[in-house]
């Protein structure tokens, strides 16, 4: 790890990759970096102060909102609003898109979509959680409030995307479409330092990540793939290994580094799966493709899906190319209506 290159310097350096870049995207990424540090500080205190547990309300997904979900949502929103580069935000924690009202924000070019705290059921038990974000250029005219159209762009229009994993160390990983880079937070100096330059996912891996508790409700193709992983012994005599944290960010991060595949398929009761297209699947799909892997809903490339709703869910299959090819062979062999 090089403490000699900070995230801030790296962002400015890479700004030159964008023709006519005026520093707005750099400033926007600086807001995300700042909010990540604040959220990291709070997460590290969980257990000491009264910030764990539920707020007592359900979010728009009908899921129990944790105090840190609400805290992270407020901090990211405030940091984004303060820097005038963003005209609106779509968040997992808010029913409708948030429109920033200041004139400077109305004149901004970008919208941000985010899952402020991913894996929040893990907060109370000291297991890794994350933040996921993605940035789009607005399609509505600058100077007017952002519209639904700005937020419902397909993933292939993302300008930048990334995540923060608050784990045994805290890391920020992002892409602007020129590869993926990772920065580890050094709390002693309060700085993210470049630690993982040009990250690529191995073409093959041994890890499959899926909530096997839902096994009986999975489509046949997924069941058969799981059985294949359990029964197939590769040449070096080591079987596949199952790893599932229950925080997409943490599961994704491990698989990115080690090689693997993450599956959140449809189930009989939830035909669209659980994960949200706009602020979970799209950013992760952009990152995995930039790292040399693949992401689909079982048939279609995630980045080519045309969103219709802010909180839309889709099945997600994401990871190492060779493993994804095998997953697809199973999904094609067994029709997905057959559970």
| Interaction of residue 211 with ligand AHG, rule CB under 6 A | yes
| The binder of ligand AHG chosen from 72, 73, 80, 119 (CB under 6 A) | 119
| The binder of ligand AHG chosen from 81, 84, 92, 336 (CB under 6 A) | 92
Tell me whether residue 251 or residue 336 sits nearer to ligand AHG (CB atom): 251
User: Residue 150 binds what, of ligand AHG, Mn ion, none (CB under 5 to 8 Å, by partner type)?
Assistant: none
| Interaction of residue 256 with ligand AHG, rule CB under 6 A | no
Cβ neighbours of residue 218 under 8 Å, at least 6 residues apart? 226, 265, 267, 339
Strands 170-175 and 316-319: unpaired
Please report how the helices 282-290 and 248-258 are oriented relative to each other, as an axis angle in degrees rounded to 10: 10
- CB of residue 74 vs ligand AHG: minimum separation in angstroms? 16
Its sign, for the CA torsion 103, 106, 107, 113, is positive
From 162-170, 187-195, 242-250, 318-326, give the range in contact with ligand AHG by CB under 6 A: 242-250
Q: How far apart are CA 69 and CA 76, in angstroms?
A: 11
Phi-psi region at 19: left, alpha or beta (left = phi > 0; alpha = psi -120 to 50)? beta
| Interaction of residue 251 with Mn ion, rule CB under 5 A | no
| Interaction of residue 63 with ligand AHG, rule CB under 6 A | yes
Q: Which of 182, 185, 337, 331 shows the shortest CA–CA distance to 267?
A: 337
Residue 189 CB coordination number (10 Å) = 10
What is the DSSP secondary-structure string of 267-282?
A: -SS-TT-SSBIIIIIH
From 45-53, 58-66, 86-94, 260-268, give the range in contact with Mn ion by CB under 5 A: 86-94
User: Residue 182 binds what, of Mn ion, ligand AHG, none (CB under 5 to 8 Å, by partner type)?
Assistant: none
Backbone angles phi, psi at 317, to 5 degrees: -130, 120
| The binder of Mn ion chosen from 115, 150, 297, 336 (CB under 5 A) | 115
Tell me whether residue 185 or residue 279 sits nearer to ligand AHG (CB atom): 279
What residues between 122 and 161 interact with ligand AHG by CB under 6 A? none
| The binder of ligand AHG chosen from 6, 10, 84, 118 (CB under 6 A) | 118
- Site residues for Mn ion per CB under 5 A: 92, 115, 117-118
């Amino acid at each position: 790890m090089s403490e000699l290159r900070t995230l801030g310097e790296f962002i400015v350096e890479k700004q030159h990759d964008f023709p006519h870049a005026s520093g707005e995207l750099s400033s926007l990424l600086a807001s995300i970096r700042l909010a990540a540090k604040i959220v990291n500080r709070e997460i590290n205190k969980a257990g000491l102060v009264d910030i764990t547990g539920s707020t007592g309300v359900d979010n728009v997904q009908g899921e129990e909102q944790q105090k840190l979900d609400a805290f992270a949502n407020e901090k990211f929103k405030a940091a984004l609003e303060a820097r005038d580069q963003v005209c609106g935000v779509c968040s997992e924690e808010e029913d409708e898109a948030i429109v920033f009202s200041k004139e400077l924000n109305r004149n901004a070019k970008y919208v941000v979509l985010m899952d402020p705290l991913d894996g929040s059921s893990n907060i109370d038990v000291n297991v890794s959680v994350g933040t996921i974000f993605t940035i789009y250029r607005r399609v509505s005219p600058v100077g007017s409030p952002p519209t639904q159209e700005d937020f419902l762009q397909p993933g292939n229009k993302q300008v930048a995307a990334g995540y923060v994993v608050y784990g045994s160390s805290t890391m920020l990983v992002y892409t602007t479409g020129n590869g993926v880079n990772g920065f580890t937070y050094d709390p002693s100096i309060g700085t993210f330092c470049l630690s993982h330059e040009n990250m690529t996912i191995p073409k093959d891996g041994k890890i499959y990540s899926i909530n096997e508790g839902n096994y009986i409700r999975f489509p046949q193709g997924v069941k058969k793939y799981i059985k294949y992983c359990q029964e197939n012994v590769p040449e070096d005599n080591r079987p596949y290994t199952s790893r599932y944290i229950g925080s997409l960010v943490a599961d994704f991060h491990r698989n990115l580094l080690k090689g693997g595949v993450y599956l959140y398929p449809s189930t009989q009761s939830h035909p669209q799966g659980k994960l949200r297209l706009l602020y979970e699947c799209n950013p992760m799909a952009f990152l995995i493709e930039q790292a040399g892997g693949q992401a689909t809903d079982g048939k279609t490339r995630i980045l080519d899906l045309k969103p219709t709703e802010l909180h839309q869910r889709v099945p997600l299959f994401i990871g190492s190319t060779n493993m994804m090819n095998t997953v697809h062979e199973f999904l094609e062999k067994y029709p997905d209506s057959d559970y």
